[in-house]
Amino acid sequence: MIEFSQAVTDNVIFHKVSVDDASMQLNKESIEISSEEETDLIRKIFLKPFLTAGASYEFKNDIALDLNTLYTLSKEILNDGNFIIGSINICKHLKNVSKHPNIKDGDVFVIKFADVLFKGQLCEALGIYKIENKEAFIENSMTANGKAELKFKRGISGRKLDKACLILFTNEPYTVLTIDTVNVETEYWKNEFLNVQLKHDPLNTTSKFLSLTKSFITDKLPEEFEISKADQIDLLNRSVKYFKNHESFVRNDFEDQVLQDKEMITAFKSFGKNYADESNLDVTHGFEISQQAVKRQARYFKTVLKLDRNFHVYIHGNRDLIEQGVDGDGRKFYKLYYKEEN
């Protein structure tokens, strides 16, 4: 979905942001990135972490989108506004929303990129990064007279970003990816600084519907129907299989192929309506399936049948090869049919 190998760095600047006005340090000059080696390092540290971003967002405002501060500031930079002044205003906005006492000071990098490949299209992007915790490292060298030296330093590595966002200047609404690995008692980064909501795209829609399906099968279904754990696992397997084998989701087809039972389908429609209202999910007309979302969500579809503390049975396929019963002594059992033992 997103590719950074062609990305180039247009502008880089960083500022020191603090809740204390006296400790704020705002740079007046951008930093020149002069070599391909430096560009590769910028990509590794500041772009690569977004490859595993779990969801995509878009800017929002309850009254008008132009009242979203970061949306307006980033759009000005895109439209050839003054990059340095724009980055300073971004830092001031971040300071203004940093009200919680647990919020740390940090270095804020603002980086303008070009040629980021997103969904097959090259686009410009703006990265904003707040580095609150630096990693310790040792720099070793030899002097001209052969003496070994060690310098103990703290800096930024590519292993973890504290807080970051990447604004992809796609056709509006812009696409926003966000990272927040240092959770304090408030979600100010996403809710106050970015002010974003989940974007209505295949990635998020696929993720939401799979979550809906899993919740129905594992939580709601046993409340209304007598269903064995093996049958629940079979439904989970069929759900994931449907999404893996189709490019587009059609609700009636999904219900007929996966749920099959009319009463179960009726219960699913009722459950889905309540879930959709709460999560802003509309699948009335179907949607394009995101295989990235399927791969991620499939890990949470547990297909393990746990029997007391003695056995774990992994069920991956044909439900017809499993029989359930009770023997003459009242002991429950499962009978498994197979061709080969590996």
191-224: pLDDT as tens digits: 999 999 888 888 888 988 999 899 999 888 888 8
Categorize the per-residue pLDDT at 137 as very low, low, confident or very high, splitting at 50, 70 and 90.
Answer: low
pLDDT at 126 (0 to 100): 97
User: Rounded to an integer, what distance in angstroms lies between the CA atom of residue 257 and that of residue 253?
Assistant: 6
Quote the crossing angle between the two packed helices 202-215 and 262-279, to the nearest 10°: 130
pLDDT, averaged across the chain: 86
Whether residue 194 is found in the same domain as residue 277? no
Nearest Cα to 11, choosing from 111, 101, 88?
A: 111
Give the per-residue pLDDT at 296.
Answer: 82
Q: Which of 164, 199, 234 is a domain's end point?
A: 199
Tens-place pLDDT, residues 263-296 = 999 999 888 887 777 777 777 778 999 888 898 8
DSSP-assigned beta bridge partners for residue 327:
none
Domain region containing 311: 203-336
Assess whether 332 and 252 both reside in one domain: yes
* Cα gap 336→193, rounded to integer Å: 55
Is the model's pLDDT at 185 over the cut of 60?
no
At residue 148, what are phi and psi to the nearest 5 degrees? -80, 140
Q: Helical H runs in the chain?
A: 36-46, 69-78, 83-97, 188, 202-215, 221-224, 229-245, 251-254, 262-279, 291-298
Task: Tell me the torsion sign for CA atoms 172, 175, 180, 184.
Answer: positive
The number of helix segments (H) and strand segments (E) in the chain equals 10, 16
Choose the final residue of a domain: 199, 216, 232. Answer: 199
Please give the pLDDT value at position 266. Answer: 92
Domain presence at residue 305: yes
Residue 329 reports pLDDT greater than 90: no
Question: CA of 26: how far to CAs of 92, 107, 249, in Å?
Answer: 10, 10, 49
What pLDDT shows up at residue 66? 92
Residue carrying the six token digits 């007598």:
226
Regarding whether 212 and 178 lie in a shared domain, the answer is no
When pLDDT is cut at 50, 70 and 90, the band that residue 183 belongs to is low
Q: Which pair of tokens denotes residue 265?
A: 């389908």
Number of domains in the chain: 2
Query: What does the alpha-carbon distance between residue 226 and residue 224 come to, in Å, rounded to a whole number?
Result: 7
Q: Which one of 101-115, 142-156, 177-191 scores highest in mean pLDDT? A: 101-115
28: DSSP letter = S
Dist CA 335 CA 325 (whole Å)? 8
The C-alpha atoms of residue 118 and residue 116 are separated, in whole angstroms, by 6
Q: Are 181 and 34 part of one and the same domain?
A: yes
84-136 residue pLDDT tens: 999 999 999 999 988 877 788 889 999 999 999 998 889 999 999 998 877 76
Question: Could you tell me the pTM of the whole model?
Answer: 0.73
